[in-house]
Amino acid sequence: MWTRDTAPPRPGDPLTVTERATLVLAPNANAWTFEGTNTWVLAEPGSDVCAVLDPGPDDDAHVAAILAAAGERCVAAVLVTHAHHDHAELAPRLAELTGAPVRAAHPRLTDEPLQDDDEIRVGALTVRVLYTPGHTGDSVCFLLPDEGSVLTGDTVLGGGSPIVKPGRLGQFFDSLDRLSEVLAAPGSMILPGHGPVLTDPLAQIERRRKARLRRVDQVVGALAEGVEDPEDLVDRLYPDLHPDLRDAARISVDAVLAHVQTTHS
C-alpha cells in the first residue's frame, strides 16, 4: 500500500493496492505530475483479462512494466480518466499493442465516448463510469462497485489540488458532492491519478472542498481591498510558489475570478 505515511513505490515496480487494483507508477515525475502518473491494472481476482487505466506517458520502460503487471492476463480495455498527456499519451499505442479498445469521454480518444453511469465489463470485473467534470470537461472517475474503490484521475489527487479551468469551478464542487455520495460506503478508497491512496475519502474530499472555498474567500477579500490584477492575486494567494507552477496558479486564480463573478454578483 502507498499512503501519505509511506514512501511511493519505485517507477515500474507493481504495487498491489486492493484485491482488484495494482499500481504501476510511471517514470514521469515533475512539478505538474508530483511523483509521476499512477497507471492502474484492474482485474477481478483469478480472471484472465484485465483493464489498464490511465496508461500514462509513451515510454518503453513503462509499457514493459504495464505488460509485466498484466502478466498472463490479456488486456481487454484501456480506460482513460481524461485526455491530458500524462494520462492518455500511451493509450493509442497500448491499444494497438494489445488490440484492446480505448474507453474515454474525450472524442479525440475514441469514436464512442463514455457517458455518465456507463458500465464496462472486463471479464467478471464491473467498472462504472462517473462523469465528474471540473479539472477538465472530459474528466470521468471509475467506480469498482464490488469494493467501493474509485479511480479519480486528477479530480481528487493523493495530495494537493488539481487545476480547475475558468468556468468549471461550479462543476468541480458538484463533482466532489457526487464523489462523496459514492464514497460513503465503509471501506471505500480513492485510488488517485497522482500521489498516494486515500483510505479516508470523505475527510479528504471535505479538505479539498474547504481548500478551494478558502481560495474563493481570499479572492473575494482581495477584490474588496481593490486587488484586482490576476498576477497580483497570484502573488497574494501563492506566496511561496514554485516558478514552474506559476501558470497553473494563474489558471486557478482565473477560475476563482470567473466563479466569483457568477456567484457573488
Chain contacts with Zn ion (rule: CB under 5 A): 86, 154
Of 100, 64, 61, 108, nearest to 79 by C-alpha is: 100
CB of 18 to Zn ion, least distance (A): 21
44 versus 162: smaller Cβ distance to Zn ion: 162
Bridge partners, 153 (sequence order) = 192
> Do the beta carbons of residue 126 and residue 73 sit within 8 Å?
no
SS3 178: helix
Amino acid 193 reads G
Strands annotated E in the chain = 15-16, 21-25, 38-42, 49-53, 74-79, 102-103, 119-122, 125-131, 140-144, 149-153, 190-192
CB of 17 to Zn ion, least distance (A): 18
Amino acid 140 reads V
CB of 87 to Zn ion, least distance (A): 5
Q: What's the CA gap between 265 and 253, in Å, rounded?
A: 17
CB of 125 to Zn ion, least distance (A): 24
35 versus 154: smaller Cβ distance to Zn ion: 154
CB of 15 to Zn ion, least distance (A): 18
CB of 9 to Zn ion, least distance (A): 17
43 versus 141: smaller Cβ distance to Zn ion: 141
Exposed e or buried b for every residue in 150-186, given b needs 16+ CB within 10 A? bbbbbbbbbeebbbbbeebbebbbebbebbeebbeee
Q: How many residues does the chain have?
A: 265
89 versus 154: smaller Cβ distance to Zn ion: 154
CB of 85 to Zn ion, least distance (A): 8
Q: What's the CA gap between 51 and 66, in Å, rounded?
A: 11
- Sequence-ordered list of residues with C-beta below 8 angstroms from that of 113, at least 6 positions apart, any chain: 104, 105, 106, 107, 138
In angstroms, the Cα distances linking 65 to 42, 72, 154, 191 are 14, 13, 22, 19
